[in-house]
Structures are given as structure tokens and as C-alpha cells.
Amino acid sequence: MLHFFLVSVKILTMEIKIVKERRKTLLLKIVSREEILVKAPIRLNDAKINNFISSKKKWFEDKIKKMESLEEFANHFYFDKYIYEFGEPIMETKELAIGFSSFSARKKNKVIREQYFSMFSYVKDRVNEYAEKYGFKVKEVNPCVSTCKWGSFSSSKEMKINFKAIILPKDLIDYIIFHELCHSKHMNHKPQFWKEVEKYCPNYKVLRQKIKEFSFLLKTPF
Ligand SMILES: [Zn+2]
């Protein structure tokens, strides 16, 4: 059973999609700025669902405010115009190739991606430096293309770091590196793992929040 309707809660123009399914609890999810998804038990009546949605008004508003501030943050970057390193523009993309501005979007993205790949040696050098200094065992470090992850560490001791990491401020690059290095000792995210991370990044909790601001980067087209 699928219901679509607008509820007159003051969530302005957001459409609230209500899906009734075999479940025991109500679930709320903001799908986008325009759409909220509510999953409800089949037998729960609409008045109760509406009450529930109304009671979450503040939660919605906070979430939306947060989404807006993240969007605003992302708007400070012009990836078609500049190449960034450590959070700052370092050169114009038109310097990447003769006739760059006449390239198709696809070709531009390819050239931009190649440029960031060529800058990956910074990340590689830091990984090797920290591994040696702090006694972590890493067999290989390679750049990866991922739309959801900044890094990974395999049981065969291969570290992968997203090639876009070079765009991040230095403290966040270090956080990603130490996070993955610590996976060489703990292949999980249990408290002991975070204790290990804390040794190298005492403010890791702040960094974990800060890196969320950059998560839009994982989805950029290049
Ligand atoms: Zn991890």
C-alpha cells in the first residue's frame, strides 16, 4: 500500500511520502530538500501518523538547516574553474591543456581527474612517512575512485585512498591516513580502534564532523 499526500505540517513545501508496510515502528527519512519519507506500520491510522510528523517538526527544521549549510559550503568550490589542493585553489583548469575551454564536459572531467591523480604522490608520501615513523605495516598505497568512501584498508595490507583526498585541508588528509593506518591494527570501528586513532589525531571527533562538510566532493562529476 502506497500513499502520497501533503500534510499541512509547517514544513513548507516538502512533500511527505508515506509508505505503509509490515513494520512495528515509524521511520522518518529526509530524502531531499523536497521530500520526506515516512514508513509506517500498515494498521497505524493517518491521524496518528500526522501527529507523529508534527511532533518531529523541530527535527526536520534542524536537519534541513544542516543540509542548507552543507550546500552553502559546497558552493564555495568551482571545480570546473580551479584545481584545488589542501582546500585552496592552486591553478586554473584552463591551464591544464591547450583548448581546455572548448572541451566537452566529459573530456574536461577526464583532464581534471588526471590532474588530481598526478597529485596523489603527496598522499602516498605521507602514508609511507607515518607508517615508518609510527611502525604501521602497509604493503601498498593506491588511489581509488569511490563515490562513498575516502579510504579503505584490506586484510592484505593494501591501503586505498580516494584520489580526491588531495583537495581536502591537510588535517583531514592526515585524519584519513591515520584512520586507515589504524585499521592495520583493528579491522573494525570498535572503541579500541578509536583509541588508537586518538593517539595520532587527538581531535579526531572534530575532524570526523569536519570531513562531512566535504562529502559532496565524493559525488562531483570528475
Ligand atoms: Zn574505518
For the stretch 5-58, pLDDT in tens is 444 444 556 788 888 899 999 998 888 878 888 899 989 988 888 888 888 888
Whether the CB-CB separation of 121 and 128 falls below 8 Å is answered with: no
Q: From the CA of 173, how far away is ligand 1's center (Å)?
A: 14
| pTM of the full structure | 0.81
Angle, CA of 80, 85 and 87, to the nearest 5°: 90
For residue 13, the model assigns a pLDDT of 65
**Is pLDDT above 70 for 1?**
no
160 in Cβ contact with 181 (< 8 Å): no
79-94 pLDDT, tens digit each:
999 999 999 999 999 9
Dihedrals phi, psi of 115, to nearest 5 degrees: -60, -45
One-letter amino acid identity for 173? I
CA of residue 46 to ligand 1 center, whole Å:
41
40 exposure class (CB count in 10 Å sphere: 0-12, 13-18, 19+): buried
208: Cα separation from own chain's centroid: 10
Mean pLDDT of the chain: 91
- Round to whole Å and give the CA distance between 165 and 144: 10
Same domain, 90 and 69: no
One domain, residues 67 and 6: yes
- CA–centroid distance, residue 160 to ligand 1 (Å): 12
Is 63 in the same domain as 117?
A: no
What's the rounded mean pLDDT across residues 132-141?
96
* Model pLDDT for residues 162-189, shown as the tens digit of each residue: 999 999 999 999 999 999 999 999 999 9
Q: Closest Cα to residue 49, out of 22, 23, 28?
A: 28
The last residue of a domain, from among 56, 74, 92: 74
Q: What's the gap in Å between 187 CA and the centre of ligand 1? A: 8
Q: How far is the CA of 166 from the centre of ligand 1 (A)?
A: 18
Cell triple for 100 = 581546455
Residue type, 74: A
| CA 3 / ligand 1 centre spacing (Å) | 38
| 137 CA → ligand 1 middle, Å | 16
Among 13, 40, 74, residue at a domain's last position: 74
Q: How confident is the model at residue 2 (pLDDT cuts 50, 70, 90)?
A: very low
